[in-house]
Amino acid sequence: MIVETTHGSLTFCSIEPGSGLDSTLERPPANALGRIEASGLRGRGGAGFPTSLKWDLAIKSPGENKYVICNADEGEPGTFKDRVILSDFADLVFEGMTIGAFVIGAKRGIVYLRGEYAYLRSHLETVLRRRRAQNLLGKKIRGRDGFDFDIEIRMGAGAYVCGEETALIESLEGQRGEPRNRPPFPIDTGYLGNPTIVNNVETFAWVVCILAKGAKWFNSIGTKKSTGLKLFSVSGDCSQPGVYEFPMGITVAELLKEVGGEGAKAVQVGGAAGQCVPAAQFERTIAYEDVPTGGSVIVFGPDRDMLRVAENFLEFFADESCGQCTPCREGTPKLIEGVKMLQQGRCSMHYIHELCSLGETMQLASKCGLGQMAPNAFLSIVEHFQDEILGRIGK
């Protein structure tokens, strides 16, 4: 369907569907949880919350109808690795969800698939049907009494903010996708008020690999705080865009070399919500403790106008804000106005400082990650590209 370049061979290719689940079911659920904990796996959706901790909290939260939700809303500009996983490795995602269900004691799972990926739906339904036929889903999975679990697919309807886990749940419940206050967290009060784990597509796939290949294999890769491998979606000004698997802790410079992006002037790591890393800092590492990412890497060549880039990011957030809270709803348009003034050389140094402090207020006072992260790219571009920006400042 879509022409895709996947570079190098992915670990996911080497995992036999069914293998992770069968070995998990032989032992009590706590065993699988222990192995995931030992692996150090952290959520691959961006925030990097430890997966075993989230699952453990859901185990402890009382409730008969627990849910496993796969966040397939992949909406961050520059991210497409979840689409590749869903197209090529859907079995691993469903298997990871099934393991999650076994661990927390859930009977039902939901994949929240972004509306733009509607064309993947029939493929996913086919895989689900086959897994039911193989008794990898359904009643008494693999002959295990009392282990019933099935997965349904629900479509998003074109709202980036629905990738935020509480907004996603609101949307599944048939409401506007407006983020809720947290706490309470979904592990306590999730879908229809039930304990719910929400994890990224890639997180579920790694769970299967960890159970098949061992926690040691996984945590021997990467850094101490960011273990294992990660998929990256690489786009922008480089000769080899596409999906890559790299160890966590890779430096920006190493990554650029692999993708043919040497000579870049900056790299946006983590999508619109992430950070803009300038050439002078290419030795920084991509890891939760340094430059975190959900996997989006956009390379900017030497000729790119960074103010236009900042404007593009901000327009995205202005479009996608749910409008529930003031800092996000009112702040982003103010920043756009500021960028336009900067472009025209009509912005004073004093006003730049005002804009930056507005940005910091948004980071602190917005209700959800969207508003908290909206000013990030603007702030990092102002910080790192002073020359480019100051050159246009009004006297």
Q: Is 179 in the site for ligand SF4 (CB under 6 A)?
A: yes
What does the alpha-carbon distance between residue 87 and residue 148 come to, in Å, rounded to a whole number?
A: 26
x/- map, 20-59, ligand FES, by CB under 6 A: ----------------------------------------
- Could you tell me which of 148, 146, 142, 188 has the C-alpha nearest to residue 166? 188
- Could you tell me which of 313, 307, 366, 385 has the C-alpha nearest to residue 340? 307
- Could you tell me which of 184, 126, 121, 190 has the C-alpha nearest to residue 156? 121
Show the DSSP H helices in 64-182 as ranges: 81-88, 90-104, 121-133, 165-172
Rule CB under 6 A: which of 345-374 touch ligand SF4?
366-368, 370-371
x/- map, 168-207, ligand FMN, by CB under 6 A: ------------------------------xxx--x----
What does the alpha-carbon distance between residue 32 and residue 193 come to, in Å, rounded to a whole number?
A: 26
Measured from each CB, the residue nearest to ligand SF4 is 371
Beta bridge partners of 229: 247
Q: Is 160 in the site for other proteins (CB under 8 A)?
A: yes
Q: Is 129 in the site for other proteins (CB under 8 A)?
A: no
Q: Is 78 in the site for other proteins (CB under 8 A)?
A: yes
C-alpha distances in Å from residue 252, one per residue of 234, 249, 266? 12, 9, 10
What does the alpha-carbon distance between residue 130 and residue 137 come to, in Å, rounded to a whole number?
A: 9
- Could you tell me which of 286, 296, 106 has the C-alpha nearest to residue 200? 296
Nearer to ligand FES, 77 or 138 (CB): 77
Number of residues that bind ligand FES (CB under 6 A): 2
DSSP string across 246-268: EETT-BHHHHHHHHT-TT-SEEE
Nearer to ligand FMN, 29 or 45 (CB): 45
Cβ-in-10-Å burial (0-12, 13-18, 19+) of 202 comes to buried
Candidates 64, 145, 319, 387; binder of other proteins (CB under 8 A) is: 319
What does the alpha-carbon distance between residue 84 and residue 92 come to, in Å, rounded to a whole number?
A: 12
Contact 200, 81 (CB under 8 A): no
What's the closest the beta carbon of residue 302 comes to ligand FMN, in angstroms?
A: 31
Measured from each CB, the residue nearest to ligand FES is 77
β-strands 275-278, 296-300 pairing: unpaired
Candidates 18, 63, 77, 105; binder of ligand FES (CB under 6 A) is: 77
x/- map, 102-141, ligand FES, by CB under 6 A: ----------------------------------------
Q: Is 71 in the site for ligand FMN (CB under 6 A)?
A: yes
The interface partner of residue 368, options being other proteins, ligand SF4, ligand FES, none and the CB cut-off 5 to 8 Å by kind, is ligand SF4
What's the closest the beta carbon of residue 105 comes to ligand FMN, in angstroms?
A: 19
| Backbone φ, ψ for residue 245 (5° rounding) | -110, 120
Binding site for ligand FES (CB under 6 A): 77-78
Residues that bind other proteins (CB under 8 A): 1-5, 74-80, 82-83, 114-119, 121-122, 125, 154-160, 171-178, 192, 233-237, 241-243, 268, 271-272, 298, 300, 304, 308-309, 312-313, 315-316, 319-320, 322
Residues near ligand SF4 (CB under 6 A)? 161, 179, 321-325, 328-329, 366-368, 370-371
